[in-house]
Amino acid sequence: MKHASSRQLYEYWDRLRSGAPAPQRTAIEPADIRTILCDTFILEAGSRSGHPFRLAGTRLCAAFARELKGTPFLDIWSPGDRGQISLLLGAVGGDARAAVVGLAGRASHERLAAYEMLLLPLLQDGPRYDRILGVLAPTELPYWLGLDPLTGLTINSARLIWPDDADALVRRLGLGQEMPLGAVRLNPEARRERFVVLDGGKATR
């Protein structure tokens, strides 16, 4: 995680879960993360309606020049990247993994803004991880951001994070590194009880 907002949210989430796979949604106190609240969001996980926003921060909404609450999360992504984002959301909501994504926000006149996104699982109504806590923060602040609305997001790179004891195994297998997602697919046949294999990316030594 390169962005300070990603690190802050991850540390807060990790503290709240107290060793459990994920904390309860009700444990999230907006005042505790007020400095990054404008870039924070909560999604409905495992939804057939595009993982709608349940909450969306003010700067995130301003970047798209519209209220995002209630709208499908997949709709803000470029059509070619929606399948990849769905797979990442499935790993977060299905397996209690965390995901870090480097991406570009596209606006008119071929303008681009660099962002980092963190996705983390939450519990709300039962044993499933039915909510996803996230932060989508710009790594740079071009003068036009907030004036020229973003029209879509494009993935540059992604990695899954195993917060607990699987970290050591993942590092040994070379799976915990950042890798371009254009040639990477989450392979359902390669899933194991403690980790998900990403086919592609950098070769291990």
Query: Mind listing the pLDDT tens digit of every residue in the chain (205 residues)?
Result: 899 999 999 999 999 999 899 999 999 999 999 999 999 999 998 767 899 999 999 999 999 999 999 999 999 999 999 999 999 999 999 889 999 999 999 999 999 999 999 999 999 876 789 999 999 999 999 999 989 999 999 999 999 988 875 444 344 334 444 433 333 334 333 333 333 333 334 444 4
pLDDT score for 24: 94
Whole-angstrom CA distances from 12 to 8, 31, 97, 172 are 6, 12, 15, 27
22 close to 123: Cβ distance less than 8 angstroms: yes
Spatial separation of the C-alpha atoms in residues 162 and 136, rounded to whole Å? 20
pLDDT score for 153: 98
Which architecture does CATH list for 4-164? Answer: 2-Layer Sandwich (3.30)
Spatial separation of the C-alpha atoms in residues 164 and 67, rounded to whole Å? 36
Task: Enumerate the β-bridge partners of residue 43.
Answer: 53, 132
Tokens of 29: 């106190």
Please state whether the predicted TM-score (pTM) of the whole model is above 0.85. no
Please name which of 153, 178, 2 lies closest in space to residue 85, comparing C-alpha atoms: 153
The one-letter amino acid at 71: T
Helix (H) or strand (E) run with residue 121 in it: strand 112-122
User: Position of tokens 């503290």?
Assistant: 15
Task: Enumerate the β-bridge partners of residue 118.
Answer: 100, 135
Whole-angstrom CA distances from 111 to 63, 81, 114, 150, 197 are 13, 18, 10, 9, 34
Give the angle 187-189-191 at the CA atoms, nearest 5°: 80
The one-letter amino acid at 131: R
- Domain residue spans in the chain? 4-164
Spatial separation of the C-alpha atoms in residues 81 and 154, rounded to whole Å? 6
Task: Enumerate the β-bridge partners of residue 42.
Answer: 55, 133
Spatial separation of the C-alpha atoms in residues 72 and 94, rounded to whole Å? 19
pLDDT score for 99: 96
Spatial separation of the C-alpha atoms in residues 179 and 195, rounded to whole Å? 17
Residues 6+ apart with CB under 8 A from 31: none
